Amino acid sequence: MSPQILVDGLISGAMIGLGAIGVTLTYSILRFANFAHGEFISWGAYFAFAVSGLLGYLSGGLAAPIGPFSFGWSLPIAAVASVALTAGLALLVDAVLFRPLRSRRGAVIILVMASFGAALALRNLLEFIFTSRPDYYTTNLQIAMRLGGGMRATPDQLLCLGVAAVLALAVHLLLTRTAIGRSMRAVSENPQLSGIVGIDIRSVVRMVWILGAGLAAVAGIMTGLIVQIRPEMGLDLLLPLFAAAILGGIGSVPGAMIAGLIVGLAEALTVQVFGAEWRAAVAFVILVAILLLRPQGLFGRPE
Amino acid sequence: MILHLFSYGAFFTTVALTYAIICLGLNVQWGQTGLFNVGVAGFVGLGAYVSALLTTPHSAEHIGGFGLPILAGWLGAALAAGLATLCVGWLTLRLRADYLAIATFGFAVVVQLCLLNLQPITGGALGIAFIPRPFAASAHDPARFGALNLAVMAAVVLALYLALERLGRSPWGRVLRAIREDETAALALGKNATRFRLQAFAIGGAIMGLGGAAQGHFIGFIAPDNYLPMLTFQVWVMLIVGGSGNNRGAILGAIVVWGIWALSASAIAAVVPADQQARTASLQIVLIGVALCAILLLRPRGILGEVRIVSRHLLPGSRLRQRLPHADRR
């Protein structure tokens, strides 16, 4: 067993964690398991791919690598655009699909089913536009740096870890220290009561989608940068996202991030011990274990 | 020419009826009990593989191949899928409603993974071929072969339909609907909601496994690619279009949606150039996905919809029956 699994696990875990924050927020505030969340990851990656490609085409200088990284300024600029576009996509899906279903006050499970249909439509739309061939932000090769202790990581990977840590901290502070964060937590506790005390539920719902989809877009761009961009990337991440959200405790942002890292490390360990083909089973095993032993998750409260 | 058309029609209808079996299974879970299963493909695939392993002749390429009769394969498939549903249900049914959805989704992912990677048992990505087909002795006469298979499949669907209708009207079926509509009231009457749900979930899963086995034997070949999330989605669309909660709706939906699916696929094959076909096929899925969302938004009852019956003493058309609320509450 090599210490390298620590690095690999933390990096893929950081992306799972960012995605799981969105899942846990939608689950606790809008109260349904959103099967379309994985598609925000794929769409985020492809939005950034399209924008950075366009920027690189317009000005060759933007595509030249910055310092030790493999990408040029076109990618960070495209990432910002992609976060905005993905948030817009999430708001659009909410406006045409989820909001009308919510206002009908039907069973929650109809929302889950609608998200399942939306996921298929969104994923195959990507496949139609970009085909199922994998794409890359950059074809530059990177040499991994020695970190000591037999571990290696590329500058790109370290940057992704850092960005993920900063974003998770920022979301945690937003939820605990700002007015909109307090409103979000209030709605997750009791939607009726928070409506009565004058909290604007609609702006809370908007914030949930913007945060969730924005973080998903970042996770997608990181996955695209470190691995590759494919229409199924979001589908492949969906089970790890759910496992992390439930393991961390529904509604807990630090929980989702920590659980994401745990799932990532477990995946890296499995790849080492059993081989890469069993990677996708890890999330299910974790899910089964947590449902058996502690259904409220690590940081959740029992119902 | 007419003979050719007839055997194509028989083939088409037989495949549609295998979907109708799976759809009837889903109707027990969702339509009657309100349990959301996102792993239909996993349970169907499990049934198909179990039956194939039980019935194929002994082979050097993979373990299994017991050469049992087809009927034993069908029973084994139903049993295995029923047991798997029982386990997944036991794990999640006492928790939040959408944990079941997540767990079944995970189950389907793991089944897909096992089918691909447990090469010594499942044959890996290439799947299992030469699964015994019913009435293989008359395969040299396509019309006779098609008609016999169609007759058997129709008989299975009819038997399932009658059994499920009877079950739905029995006290057991009434408890299920009571739990679905108002769990608190059902609990207050002393009904163990989790236990009834678990039973319905397992029965539905067993029927799905049977459907998978029937399909595998009719086609004669199975591979992991047949059991992707796409299959789950197709079966869901069939049930929602036909009308969930209605067994006739489940069968009708399977035939209608399979018809639209097969026709549009052959239209694409005829019109679109070969190199663009994979792309257009994904557009086909987009349209079906949008259609599912549109039905959920605009006509949640489907074509036939659920017939609301409180008791067989309240016949359709009687005064009491007309006073029942018809508003769709789900």
Top residue of A102, A104, A109 to mutate, by most chain B CBs within 10 Å, is A109
Cβ–Cβ under 8 Å, residues A181 and A174: yes
| Residues of chain B positioned with their CB less than 8 A from the CB of A232 | none
| Residues of chain A positioned with their CB less than 8 A from the CB of B95 | 291, 295
Top residue of A113, A130, A131, A290 to mutate, by most chain B CBs within 10 Å, is A113
State how far residue B286 is from chain A, nearest Cα, in angstroms: 4
- A61-75, A121-135, A283-297: segment of lowest average pLDDT: A61-75
Q: Letter for the amino acid at B230?
A: M
Residue of B nearest to A232 (CA): B229
DSSP code string of A256-298: HHHHHHHHHHHHHHHHHHT-GGGHHHHHHHHHHHHHHH-TT-S
| Pairwise CB contact (< 8 Å): A287 & B106 | yes
Gap between the terminal Cα atoms of chain A? 40
| Pairwise CB contact (< 8 Å): B105 & A238 | yes
Chain A contacts in chain B segment 38-57 (CB below 8 A) = 38
∠ Cα A26 A110 A202 (to 5°): 40
Chain B contacts in chain A segment 92-131 (CB below 8 A) = 97, 100-101, 106-110, 112-114, 116-122, 124-125, 127-128, 131
| Pairwise CB contact (< 8 Å): A284 & B107 | yes
Among B79-88, B97-106, B174-183, the range with the most confident prediction by mean pLDDT is B79-88
Q: Is the pLDDT of residue B296 over 60?
A: yes
Residues B235-269 have pLDDT tens digits of 988 888 888 888 999 999 999 889 888 888 888 77
> Which tokens hold the place of B188?
């207050």
Which among B97, B98, B282 is the nearest to A127, CB-wise? B282
Query: How would you class B248 by CB atoms within 10 Å of its CB: exposed for 0-12, middle for 13-18, buried for 19 or more?
Result: middle
- Say if A235 is an interface residue toward chain B (CB within 8 Å): yes
State how far residue A61 is from chain B, nearest Cα, in angstroms: 34
| Pairwise CB contact (< 8 Å): A277 & B117 | yes
The whole-number pLDDT of residue B321 equals 43
Q: Is the pLDDT of residue B330 over 70?
A: no
Top residue of A124, A127, A132 to mutate, by most chain B CBs within 10 Å, is A124
The mean pLDDT value of chain B amounts to 84
| Residues of chain B positioned with their CB less than 8 A from the CB of A120 | 229-230, 233, 285-286, 288-289, 292
Mean pLDDT for the stretch of residues A279-291: 90
The whole-number pLDDT of residue B27 equals 92
Handedness of CA A78, A83, A88, A89 (dihedral sign): positive
- B39-48, B75-84, B115-124: segment of lowest average pLDDT: B115-124
| Domain residue ranges of chain A, discontinuous segments joined by + | 4-293
**CA separation, residue B159 to residues B146, B152, B163 (Å):** 20, 10, 6
> Which tokens hold the place of B208?
């799905």
Residues A229-284 have pLDDT tens digits of 999 999 999 999 999 999 999 888 899 999 999 999 999 999 988 888 888 899 99
Chain B contacts in chain A segment 163-192 (CB below 8 A) = none
Query: How would you class B322 by CB atoms within 10 Å of its CB: exposed for 0-12, middle for 13-18, buried for 19 or more?
Result: exposed
Residues A120-145 have pLDDT tens digits of 899 999 998 998 889 998 877 777 88
Portion of chain B with pLDDT greater than 70, in percent: 91
State how far residue A189 is from chain B, nearest Cα, in angstroms: 16
Q: Is the pLDDT of residue B315 over 70?
A: no
More confident residue, B115 or B295: B115
Residues A165-224 have pLDDT tens digits of 999 999 999 999 999 999 998 888 888 888 888 888 899 999 999 999 999 999 999 999
The whole-number pLDDT of residue B322 equals 43
State how far residue B58 is from chain A, nearest Cα, in angstroms: 27
Which among A106, A109, A132 is the nearest to B36, CB-wise? A109
The whole-number pLDDT of residue A1 equals 62
Residue listed under structure tokens 């399932």: B160
Top residue of A105, A126, A128, A270 to mutate, by most chain B CBs within 10 Å, is A128
The CA distance from A4 to A265, in Å, is: 11
Which among B102, B113, B297 is the nearest to A280, CB-wise? B113
Confidence of residue B303 (pLDDT cuts 50, 70, 90): confident
| Domain residue ranges of chain B, discontinuous segments joined by + | 2-228
Q: How many CB atoms lie within 10 A of CB A4?
A: 17
Gap between the terminal Cα atoms of chain B? 48
Confidence of residue B43 (pLDDT cuts 50, 70, 90): very high
Residue of A nearest to B102 (CA): A242
Q: Is the pLDDT of residue A112 over 70?
A: yes
The CA distance from A288 to B110, in Å, is: 12
Q: Is the pLDDT of residue B325 over 50?
A: no
> Which tokens hold the place of A263?
């799932």
The whole-number pLDDT of residue A138 equals 83
- Say if B136 is an interface residue toward chain A (CB within 8 Å): no
Q: Is the pLDDT of residue B316 over 60?
A: no
CATH class of the domain at A4-293? mainly alpha
The whole-number pLDDT of residue B327 equals 40
The whole-number pLDDT of residue A151 equals 83
| Pairwise CB contact (< 8 Å): A287 & B116 | no
Portion of chain B with pLDDT greater than 90, in percent: 34
The whole-number pLDDT of residue B312 equals 52
Mean pLDDT for the stretch of residues B150-169: 92
Which among B91, B107, B296 is the nearest to A291, CB-wise? B91
Portion of chain A with pLDDT greater than 70, in percent: 98
